[in-house]
Amino acid sequence: MKENIYYSFLQIFYWGESAIVFVFSGLFLQSSGLSNSSIGILLALANIFSFILSNVIADYLDKHANIATNNIASQLLLLELIVSIVLIFTYKSHTFVTGFLYMLLITQMFTVGMLYNKLYADLSASEIYINYSLSRGLGSFSFAVVSVFMGWLIEKCSCVTVPYAAVFVILIQTVSLKLIGNIKRCLSAGALKINPNNMHSFLGKNPGFCILLIGIAFIFAAANVLNSFYYLIIENIGGNSSTLGNVKFFVSISELIMMFVYSRIKTGRISLLLKIGLVFFPIKLLAIYLSDSVSELYIANLLQGLSFGLYTPALVDWVIQVIPNTDSGKGQSLATSITQLGTFISTIVFGFLFDGKSVNTCLVLMVVISMIGVPLGMIGIRKQESLIQKST
């Protein structure tokens, strides 16, 4: 019971941080003096650096089972804390420095999120039951509440509240991680064995997983760029920063409901639920494109539950099913960080497109890109599962 509580605290405050740092990244950087194209480049760099850092750390953890995941995560949180404090003093006074530091903050935050999934896999391997979908669902609820609060706070004060709020949630994560870490050390008998495979050999042995990763990269090249520039979508239909927070609240509640349902129906259906989640990503984007008002945008975001709400817990559980424990770091890291690889390219491109093209034109392109990823994802899932069946 207490393990679930501590892990839930991690997810709650991590996704609270994500709401603070990522949802309002465009507004924060724009208010500090950066153009949309510059913001696109910085967010793209954060994505690619996160992809590289996540997979380097994951490969290291798989090869050194004596190194606790929580120790690496704690070090990254300390760096996040330092960067957030410095941002308070550079905001609006040093535009380039602010952009660079914000890029580092997002890079570290994304990597910590991967490590939390790795920690879940470690605890599962140690026979410690964690209700991941419930914990992640509570994270979505936190994301929702914090999004609304930050939208209101920024309207009343200014964007400088972003780094202040980040400092608070990072500190809470650090305490929660310490509690989880102590439990992990007490149960070290379940630690993973040293894995001799490097990243190249791992990918060669799991071709279906690689195809799925390519599909995910396409899907999230569209989904994540939407999140990066959501404030432009909101402005296009007459909303403001408060509207952005309210929409994110609505989106996260739909995720919470679906993740709660997932925990009740997942037995024997993980693969099917993952496929359903993939299919609904382009459908949701199409619904957003067709929205002409804030009320219609709320309706379109009901599909967030059937897309991201199903996909997120199903992918983590599916990777545990089809990837050996000795490769859990690489499996969870790639499944999480591949989204940043696709986003790296799309964020740069769309940063310039949003400066020169209409919002609706950009949304159509997002729908097309997302649709490319769905059949690749389906093929990858089927191929990887066939490979596992042949080997058993």
Tens of pLDDT, residues 279-335: 999 999 999 999 888 888 888 888 999 999 999 999 989 998 888 877 878 888 898
- Who contacts 49 (Cβ-Cβ below 8 Å, separation ≥6)? 103, 107
Q: What is the pLDDT of residue 187?
A: 42
Q: Which of 193, 209, 227 is nearest to 332 (CA)?
A: 209
DSSP state of 21: I
Residue tagged 């650090």 (tokens): 174
- Give 169 or 5, the one with higher predicted confidence: 169
Helix axes 328-356, 36-63, angle to 10 degrees: 170
Angle at 271 between CA 269 and CA 277, to 5 degrees: 100
Summary mean pLDDT of the chain:
85
| 343 vs 339: CA distance, rounded Å | 6
> Quick check: 260 and 341 in contact, CB under 8 A?
no
| 266 vs 12: CA distance, rounded Å | 22
- Average pLDDT (14-36) is 87
| 320 vs 255: CA distance, rounded Å | 21
| 132 vs 321: CA distance, rounded Å | 14
- Give 16 or 190, the one with higher predicted confidence: 16
> Quick check: 83 and 108 in contact, CB under 8 A?
yes
- What's the pTM value of the predicted model, to 2 decimals? 0.79
**Phi, psi (degrees; rounded to nearest 5) at 6:** -65, -45
| 39 vs 30: CA distance, rounded Å | 7
- Give 40 or 77, the one with higher predicted confidence: 77
Q: Which of 215, 185, 194 is nearest to 327 (CA)?
A: 194
Q: What is the pLDDT of residue 101?
A: 94
Alpha helical stretches, state H, 91-206:
95-125, 132-156, 161-186, 199-205
Assign 227 a pLDDT band (cuts: 50, 70, 90): confident
Q: What is the pLDDT of residue 248?
A: 74
Q: What is the pLDDT of residue 356?
A: 78
DSSP state of 69: H
Residue 40's CB is within 10 A of a number of other CB atoms, namely 26
| 225 vs 232: CA distance, rounded Å | 11
- Average pLDDT (77-84) is 95
Tens of pLDDT, residues 168-224: 999 999 998 888 765 544 444 444 444 456 787 888 889 999 999 999 999 998 888
Assign 250 a pLDDT band (cuts: 50, 70, 90): confident
Q: What is the pLDDT of residue 69?
A: 84
Residue tagged 């590289």 (tokens): 52
What 151-154 contacts at long range (C-beta under 8 Å, 24+ apart), as own/partner pairs, is 151/24, 151/241, 151/242, 151/243, 151/244, 151/245, 151/246, 151/248, 152/242, 152/245, 154/24, 154/27, 154/241
Whether 93 shows a pLDDT value over 60: the answer reads yes
Residue tagged 């914000």 (tokens): 102
Q: What is the pLDDT of residue 190?
A: 45
DSSP state of 324: -
